[in-house]
Structure 1
Amino acid sequence: MTYPFKFPDTAPPTLSIGRSRQWGLLSATEVHATPGRYPGMVTSDHRLIFYLTPEVPTDCACEGVAQRRIQSPYDFDIVPAGASGFWEDHAPCDMVSVRLAPQLVTSTAEALALPGGRAELAPRLGGRDALVEHIVRALVAEIAAPAPAGRIYADSLATALTTRLLQSFAIVGAAGRQTLSKPQIRRIVDYVETNLDGELSLEALADVAGMSIPHLTTLFRRTMGQSVHAYVMERRVQRARALLLDRRLSIAQVALETGFAHQSHLARWMRRLLGVTPSEVARA
């Protein structure tokens, strides 16, 4: 199944850099992107791309994790240091790029006494988190402020953001600890996207990955920063949102097309993940 996206040809894509501010090991920059495909730059910093423009169809990939979605304001992507990928926006998009130096992540992990004394941020596409949103919006306000707040305030925001990312979106463990390989991630993601309208099972996904169910559930959470079930429901909600915005199907039909048992099941998960109802999306 594919999304019903149809877009006209556009001019060459252009990134416009707006206001920026740096506080020690943390920085935030306003970015405007015209429609088009952009290669993801490999950098030595961890990056959090925080989206501000509603209803922008986007294709993106990072280290074998791929996604096609219609993004909502305050969705974000996590691109770990050294990671590669691409993104393609199909409409103009405003975003905030937050960069975290590896030293900040390492020192915060040590302060949190994470298992093994280390942690790595995992790639995450289309994430949503109320606390991350609150912190980044505070950084956006600081960018726009005529005079910066005191360093202690900026340091507190940096610590709070890094702590939250490590607690919710990290691969934690001893050096060399096993994770899913890129081919395994690609096979799982492709299988989920192809079968969102059907009955997905852990047994089938374990077969796709070539491992046992317990092994899959452990490595998936370690690699992707969330459970298999949470990932599948997130993808179903994003697919449902795209179909609702296309307005070709009723809410009940969209629920069935995206693997939900019924319309109320879709509504419950959409409210939980996006904070809106299917009716509100359809009227957007």
Structure 2
Amino acid sequence: MAEQSFILQEDWLETVQIQMRVFTEAPVDGLTWYEGYSDPCLVVNFNAQLAAFEVEAAGGKGYKGPIVPGDFSFLPPGSTFGGYYKGAHMRYASITFPAESLNPQFADGKPLIMHSDPLIRGLAEALYSQGYRNDPDVILYRESITNALIQHLRLIHLHPSTLDERQPINFNLLENYVQSKLDQKITIAELASIAGTTSQLLQRIVRKQFNQSVYEWVTTMRLRRSLELLRSSNLNLATIALETGFANQSHWTRLFRRQFGITPGKLRQH
């Protein structure tokens, strides 16, 4: 994918169903690239955190902004993919799926540009970590991981209509995750990945279960936690707002009053 002068290391792995190339690069002065794909290809970011990244695929679908570990793009056969990136050190995988090993619908999927999925990154890194061992147990392990990667990509990202709204969602798991991240930004895509479903399906299921959007559901947990801190701690109001994920005290106060019918300041005085 990149010019040879930027490549510090290139590793290869081939299984029955995939060909995987892992690049370690140092595009310190920036790199513009352009690539075409005859087979379906998955590009997975292992460790790069880049502020300057631009990419565009055939059909004008593109992205401009930062990238973080776990971001990925999927290119169906016949796609072109190009752009610009710059950074001190990065490692990513380019995984091609020979068309004959795939369900035809999978091979005809639409491009996915700069989506995020920690599970895809984890599966790709697991493949890479066992790339040079060839004993029977490791070969079986690689094929199992390859199958899991293909099915996850197909069901969760490319053809979510094959999933059912009746599939169980572990809300206890999701709530525990949200509670552990209340002081941070939490995205719908992130929660969908934890739940093993799609963003669209998660939104429908949460709406059906709680009569709230995912944003409203998470905000309710933030407000309940802020109420607990208000009652059980001596933290000042601005600190409580930040620790429960609100942009500022004013934002928190407005939503708190809407939820509980009283402002945090007046409640603390009681």
TM-score, with length taken from structure 1: 0.49
User: What amino acid does structure 2 have at the position aligned with 1:74?
Assistant: G
Q: Does 1:28 align with 2:20?
A: yes
8 A Cα contact 1:17 1:32, kept in partner = yes
CA distance in 2, matches of 1:163, 1:121: 13
Structure 1 residue 151 displacement after superposition:
3.2
Structure 1 residue 43 displacement after superposition:
2.1
Structure 1 residue 165 displacement after superposition:
0.9
User: How big is each residue's C-alpha offset from its partner over 1:134-166, in whole Å with a ceiling of 9 and x where there is no partner?
Assistant: 2112112112x4546543322212211111111
Match of 1:124 among 112, 118, 139: 112
User: What amino acid does structure 1 have at the position aligned with 2:16?
Assistant: G
Partner of 1:47: 41
CA distance in 1, matches of 2:6, 2:118: 30
Structure 1 residue 38 displacement after superposition:
0.3
Match of 1:68 among 51, 64, 69: 64
Match of 2:91 among 90, 94, 107: 94
SS in 2 for 1:81: coil
SS in 1 for 2:122: helix
SS in 1 for 2:141: helix
8 A Cα contact 1:169 1:226, kept in partner = no
Partner of 2:147: 159
The 5-angstrom pairing of residues 136-155 of structure 1 reads: 136-143=124-131, 145-147=132-134, 149-155=137-143
CA distance in 2, matches of 1:172, 1:53: 27
Partner of 1:104: 101
CA distance in 2, matches of 1:14, 1:125: 23
Q: Unpaired segments of 5 or more residues in structure 1?
A: 1-10, 110-117, 174-224, 234-260, 266-284
8 A Cα contact 1:75 1:126, kept in partner = yes
User: What amino acid does structure 2 have at the position aligned with 1:166?
Assistant: R
Distance 1:96 1:164, change over 3 A: same
User: What amino acid does structure 2 have at the position aligned with 1:154?
Assistant: R
- What is the RMSD computed on CA atoms of the aligned residues? 3.5
CA distance in 1, matches of 2:44, 2:160: 23
8 A Cα contact 1:104 1:162, kept in partner = no
Partner of 2:267: none
TM-score, with length taken from structure 2: 0.51
Partner of 2:228: none
8 A Cα contact 2:13 2:128, kept in partner = no
Partner of 1:85: 81
Bigger CA radius of gyration: 2
The 5-angstrom pairing of residues 148-187 of structure 1 reads: 149-170=137-158
User: What amino acid does structure 2 have at the position aligned with 1:99?
Assistant: T
Give me the identity figure in percent. 13
User: What amino acid does structure 2 have at the position aligned with 1:45?
Assistant: D
8 A Cα contact 2:46 2:125, kept in partner = no
CA distance in 1, matches of 2:112, 2:10: 25
CA distance in 2, matches of 1:226, 1:105: 24
Aligned length: 164
Higher relative contact order (CA 8 A, sep 6+): 1
Structure 1 residue 172 displacement after superposition:
7.7
User: How big is each residue's C-alpha offset from its partner over 1:233-277, in whole Å with a ceiling of 9 and x where there is no partner?
Assistant: 9xxxxxxxxxxxxxxxxxxxxxxxxxxx94599xxxxxxxxxxxx
User: What amino acid does structure 1 have at the position aligned with 2:94?
Assistant: S
Q: Unpaired segments of 5 or more residues in structure 2?
A: 162-197, 204-213, 215-245, 252-270
8 A Cα contact 2:13 2:19, kept in partner = yes
CA distance in 2, matches of 1:18, 1:85: 20
8 A Cα contact 2:55 2:81, kept in partner = yes
